[in-house]
Structure 1
């Protein structure tokens, strides 16, 4: 395990224990790393680099929603890179492309172990119901329906930047609520 992975694992453990500052630091550290890997892969397969930010946001959203499934004794990297790879493939498939992205492009180590069962649908709906309508609609569109930032912006008659802002506010609100509930 690299020093970076040890640091990320420590931050994730602290975040899961309720340390919001550690979670914010983790997200700030992993977002640029994900962005570099995704951009490199998009370039390699000839896909538009402009799709990178949507994939990064989808990956961060999935990480947020699935963070409880990470096993604290395991390295964070394989788990994270698997999510990033899957989000990239999903994103490109929605665009009508046949995509084959080798796992080794995303991980330096073995694949992450099988995930534990995630949050129940009723819990997701309960948390979503606590959000303001626009944030709830944006989060549901992206996280539940699998729409991209661009698709959500078009459907909701918003700019992509406004969608990202609403998504960020929804994450912040949910994170704060989950910290107080936990």
Structure 2
């Protein structure tokens, strides 16, 4: 381990001095180590390891762009792994907290679930008529006519936020009314 760190430090010092071949050798040596570290980090976070290549590329790009900030009198590996840790954390934050579950593991359970009660189109239309006019218009524009939030906002002279609120309220109200039946 110490030998590897010394070699990487030497290669980076040569690369900073302008030796392109040393820089390429360094990148070839660190890439598999970074790939393994990214896979381990993703696995520890409960994420699929297939995203590790994107993280490795982000790390290598950061190393390339920030190589001038490395202190040539310091060991290279701690600097590299600090960048790797930060890029992994950034990637996990962008993904948010998601848990991946293979649906095949639950095939029998899902097959046993009772089907949702069927609602006729007539019942939906009847309940739509009970909604306030603006909510009904917004729901019709977005859900039936496939207009965007922006288009709907312009059409009804509303802000996009107001359209989202009206849509949410309409869907919530419609769902509650249909469940009551």
TM-score, normalised to structure 2, is 0.52
User: What RMSD, in angstroms, separates the aligned Cα atoms of the two structures?
Assistant: 1.4
1:19, distance to aligned residue in structure 2 (A): 0.3
* Structure 1 range deviating more: 88-97 or 5-14: 88-97
CA distance in 2, matches of 1:13, 1:81: 17
- Residues 1-182 of structure 1 correspond to what in structure 2 (within 5 A)? 2-97=2-97
Q: Which has the higher contact order (CA 8 A, sep 6+)?
A: 1
Structure 1 segments of 4 or more deviating over 3 A?
A: none
CA distance in 2, matches of 1:31, 1:87: 14
- Based on CA coordinates, which of the two structures has the bigger radius of gyration? 2
Deviations for 1:118-177, whole angstroms, at most 9, x for unmatched residues? Answer: xxxxxxxxxxxxxxxxxxxxxxxxxxxxxxxxxxxxxxxxxxxxxxxxxxxxxxxxxxxx
Structure 2: give runs of 5+ residues left out of the alignment: 99-181
The count of residues paired between Structure 1 and Structure 2 equals 98
Structure 1: give runs of 5+ residues left out of the alignment: 99-182
1:97, distance to aligned residue in structure 2 (A): 3.0
